[in-house]
Amino acid sequence: MSGDRRGEVRRVAISSYLGNTIEYYDFVLYASAAALIFGPKFFSNLDPGLAVIASLATFATGYVARPAGSVVFGHLGDKVGRKSTLLWTMSLMGLASGLIGLLPTFDQVGILAPILLVILRLVQGFAVGGEWGGAALMTAEHAPPGRRGFITSFAQAGVPSGGLLSTLAMAAVALLPRDQLLSWGWRLPFLVSFALLGLGLYVRLRVSESPLFAEMVRLERDSRRPLAVVFRHHRAAVGRGIATALIPIMTSTLFGSFAVSYAVRIGYPQSAVLSALSVAWALAIVTTPIYGTLSDRVGRRSVYLTGAIGFAVLAFPIFWMINSGSLPQLFIAFAVVFGLASNLTSAGLAAQLSEMFSTESRFSGVSVAYAGASVVAGFLPLIASGLLAAAGGGTHIEPVAVLVVVICLFSAVVVRTAPRTGAGLVAGSKGGDDLQLQHFVPEEVERHGQP
């Protein structure tokens, strides 16, 4: 690559990294607040146990809105352009999160408080429905084929980066006296979203449009109805994409929200739980590019299956360590989840999903697949709470571990049995060199040839 081309790839990677950082800052911050803060602030009329469940239910509503966002922004991304669509998704996401920090509480305005909270959570979910998929494919479409896993892994590193920032922010305000935390301290991390939004928009405005999309427009090969193309020709790819994305998103919802609330409930200090989560996110930031590079060298499928099967094997020991009451074991459990096992399934995810769809419908395909997985994973904290209650409450966490094992093995089977080629066309396979920019080749075909 020329120096200018390398610089552009670098700017796109940074832009996608910041987009995912903002997305997951908002996401994990809301998850932590839903588990620890929103119950007494927005559902103070309910029993404390019911208030936590109601709070987690508002967390799940954001996932309900993601499919709608994936449809709307997926269509715009495939018809209008990747860059302009991503400016909208980032703006809506950052504004919604910042405005949560300005909301009145139930004691101030009554039932209007949780209604406003749900509305802003729906806006968040709607925007995220297009943000992750767009950022993923924008990076993939700029990256050179042999380094697609490595380049897109920087965008994926925004996930633990956002998680780390939000956890540190929540840990910092958690040091305040309880009355100050509940009166005004909890608002500060949400207000920081406004500053992150300004930084993200500044960087995103400086990147160029995807070269594959620009070439598709030049050749007048864009699809009139990209979503229809996805469901007519790529239904199997959507299903595989949902299964592939399920483990990484499950990790964020089940362990970033439910496990945090559970650990605090069984006696761990809140600050210690957030510290353990911070260490785990920091480890994930380091390992994500390493695993991304590994996916370029040995194959994304091999790396993914190692993580999925390893996670299934370690699920019970992870929860046993959390149940132990030992702080060192709590730190190890979170580090294994976020920095080692799950991260093997997420590092190459952007490249994996992008390689399943052709350029004219890629934004729609990737966004719908990711949103579909998000809807399932978004309800896992509620499902886990129900399983825990059905098992008698207390520390009978084994049914939740079974849930993790089932999801990991299901995703592993789907990925293992999927065809190697996906929907991307081999460059020039229809006799035209112009297809070289319009469709990139899935990484396993690049390395092994057509199976």
d(CA 332, CA 282): 13
R_g of the chain computed on alpha carbons = 21
Buried/exposed 61-88: b ≥16 CB within 10 Å, e otherwise:
bbbbbbbebbbbbbbbbbbebbbebbbb
* The pLDDT of residue 224: 67
d(CA 14, CA 174): 30
Could you tell me if 20 and 132 are in contact, meaning their C-beta atoms sit under 8 angstroms apart? yes
* Of 130, 73, 122, the residue nearest 99 (C-alpha): 122
pLDDT tens digits for 342-368?
999 999 898 889 888 888 888 889 999
DSSP secondary structure string for all residues of 67-107: HHHHHHHHHHHHHT-HHHHHHHHHHHHHHHHHHHTT---HH
CA 359 to chain centre: 22
Confidence band, pLDDT 50/70/90 cuts, at residue 447: very low
Mean pLDDT along residues 213-218: 78
pLDDT tens digits for 33-67?
877 788 888 887 777 777 777 877 787 787 788 88
Tokens of 91: 């703006």
| 356-412-245 Cα angle (round to 5) | 50
Torsional sign, CA 251, 255, 256, 258? positive
* The pLDDT of residue 436: 34
Confidence band, pLDDT 50/70/90 cuts, at residue 427: very low
* The pLDDT of residue 307: 96
DSSP 208: P
Which residue has tokens 């406004």?
194
Indicate whether 417 pLDDT > 50.
yes
Confidence band, pLDDT 50/70/90 cuts, at residue 72: very high
Confidence band, pLDDT 50/70/90 cuts, at residue 171: confident
Counting residues of the chain whose pLDDT is more than 70, the rounded percentage is 91
Exposure of 272 in the CB half-sphere (CA atoms within 13 A):
17
* The pLDDT of residue 311: 96
pLDDT tens digits for 178-203?
888 888 999 999 999 999 899 989 98
Counting residues of the chain whose pLDDT is more than 90, the rounded percentage is 32
3-class SS at 318?
A: helix
Indicate whether 8 pLDDT > 50.
yes
Average pLDDT of the residues of the chain: 84
* Of 107, 413, 42, the residue nearest 243 (C-alpha): 413
Domains of the chain: 3-448 (1.20.1250.20)
By CB atoms closer than 10 A (0-12, 13-18, 19+), residue 132 is: buried
d(CA 289, CA 294): 8
Indicate whether 423 pLDDT > 50.
no
d(CA 292, CA 423): 21
Confidence band, pLDDT 50/70/90 cuts, at residue 250: very high
Indicate whether 77 pLDDT > 70.
yes
* The pLDDT of residue 231: 80
pLDDT tens digits for 309-329?
999 999 999 999 999 999 999
* The pLDDT of residue 87: 92
